[in-house]
Amino acid sequence: MDINYKEPAPITDRENPFESMMERFELAARILGLEDGAYQYLKNPTKQIITAIPIQMDDGKIKVFEGYRVIHNDVLGPSKGGLRFAPDVNLDEMKALAAWMTWKCAVVNIPFGGAKGGIVCDPDKLSLGELERLTRRFTANLLDVFGPERDIPAPDMNTNEQIMAWIMDTYSMHMKAAARAVVTGKPLILGGSLGRREATGRGVYIVTLAALRKRNMDPSRSSVVVQGFGNVGSVSADMLFKSGMKVLAIGDINGSIFSSRGLNIPDVMEYFNKNKVLTGFPESETISHEDLLEVKCDVLVPAAKEDQITKNNADKIRCKIVVEGANGPTSAKADPILQEKGILVVPDILANAGGVTVSYFEWVQDRMGYFWSIDKVNTRLERMMLEAFDNVFFHAERYKQTLRLGAYLLAIDKVAKTLKLRGIYA
């Protein structure tokens, strides 16, 4: 069915994260034969907030920061998405990440829509007091947006449990009630969930082993390279190492290391915690960020930032499976190159959905006031990730598409059908 959509998605820069997301969305929409009205509804964010955040700095001067919150869609339920603090935060990035959250929640079958937020700042240059004032004022500016049944922030780049605690407290003070479910990723003592910190990395580990099984590959005879050694990368590397995989190389923004014999990840983590860098780890050699991605291996896990595998380096990738631990690590122009090379790509909206899944668990526990054991959290996470993996594979095979398109087809079909059932309020 060939549909000529009115006002097609504005695909002008394929390396832009938002445009990469939109290119894949448009392709999936055409395969599904999505009605034009649903297409128009789902391509556009429901709400885009740009807010000025004035705070008094420690020296007494007033400085104004810019903050964003993009709600892409709330058809399946309250919107859900992280909040990042970084100098390069921009609206296009927020729009792409919010849309990915919509599709991610649909893929793992949780009742959330997608959102993302951020503040343009360098948190390393802010004192703890300035960071707190910035967070609280941003929260106050968005009191009519946030809410346990409206929009639920979570930690992301350069934000953590403490940031979430400040958001929860600020919101609660204005509501005059303890609103634990307004954020996830909180400290345990404030209603956080066991297993939340490791959840994204654990999800990457679960789907990596599932992908190896699909390819009839034994983990104990397989090798892996992990780009990124933050929360996601370090947990993924550690769990994959303990599963028997040989970790050939790992890296972060400050440097990458390689060993043909394999790296002992618990020792690497101890070294990193002591020295704050990976380079210099005994019996390893330093390699460039570019070389890290091009190491010959069975599995490559890009768990850093967007657009790490692009049209410029995709033909140099030498692995059998890519498992996307980061959001949008592969640009749209790189997809056909990887496909032509026969590389199986487990897409981000499936591979790194462990974090939002356990965030959902945290929200559920907060709302019922009863908290689960770590075994129950991990068991339920594994079940939901494997169900999502099988559903994505089913849709990919049904439509004879890649896993990425299979995930988009699954997600968009679910959201579109829900939209049709709910209808449009007028």
List the domain boundaries for the chain: 45-182, 199-351
Segment 369-373 long-range contacts (CB within 8 Å, at least 24 positions apart): 371/191, 371/193, 371/194, 372/193, 372/194, 373/194
Dihedral pair phi/psi, residue 300, rounded to 5°:
-115, 130
Residue 6 has pLDDT above 60, yes or no: no
pLDDT in tens, 132-181: 999 999 999 999 999 999 999 999 989 999 999 999 999 999 999 999 99
SS3 72: strand
Residue 286 has pLDDT above 50, yes or no: yes
64: pLDDT confidence band, cut at 50, 70 and 90? very high
Q: Among candidates 51, 83, 70, which has minimal Cα distance to 115?
A: 70
Q: Which residues contact 347 (CB under 8 A, 6 or more apart)?
A: 324, 392, 403, 404, 407
Range 45-182: architecture per CATH: 3-Layer(aba) Sandwich (3.40)
pLDDT of 399 reads 94
CA-to-CA distance for 113 and 106, rounded, in angstroms?
Answer: 8
Residue 12 has pLDDT above 90, yes or no: no
pLDDT in tens, 253-263: 889 999 999 99
pTM over 0.95? The answer is no
**Is the CATH number of domain 199-351 3.40.190.10?**
no
328: pLDDT confidence band, cut at 50, 70 and 90? confident
pLDDT of 22 reads 83
What is the average pLDDT across 170-199? Answer: 97
Task: Report the percentage of the chain scoring pLDDT > 90.
Answer: 89
pLDDT of 178 reads 95
What is the average pLDDT across 78-91? Answer: 96
pLDDT of 195 reads 96
How far lies 111's CA from each of 72, 73, 152, 172, 212, in Å?
A: 14, 12, 12, 23, 29
pLDDT of 263 reads 98
Residue 9 has pLDDT above 70, yes or no: no
Mark whether 116 is an active-site residue.
Answer: yes
20: pLDDT confidence band, cut at 50, 70 and 90? confident
CA-to-CA distance for 131 and 378, rounded, in angstroms?
Answer: 33
pLDDT of 17 reads 72
424: pLDDT confidence band, cut at 50, 70 and 90? confident
CA-to-CA distance for 154 and 160, rounded, in angstroms?
Answer: 8
327: pLDDT confidence band, cut at 50, 70 and 90? confident
15: pLDDT confidence band, cut at 50, 70 and 90? low
What is the average pLDDT across 188-209? Answer: 97
Of the candidate ranges 17-21, 128-132, 346-350, the one whose mean pLDDT is the lowest: 17-21
Residue 396 has pLDDT above 60, yes or no: yes
How wide is the angle at C-alpha 361 spanned by C-alphas 187 and 391, nearest 5°? 140
Instruction: State the catalytic residue, choosing from 116, 246, 320, 414.
Output: 116
pLDDT of 10 reads 37
What is the average pLDDT across 406-421? Answer: 95
How do beta strands 299-302 and 344-346 pair? unpaired
pLDDT in tens, 241-282: 999 999 999 999 889 999 999 999 999 999 999 999 999 999
pLDDT of 18 reads 75
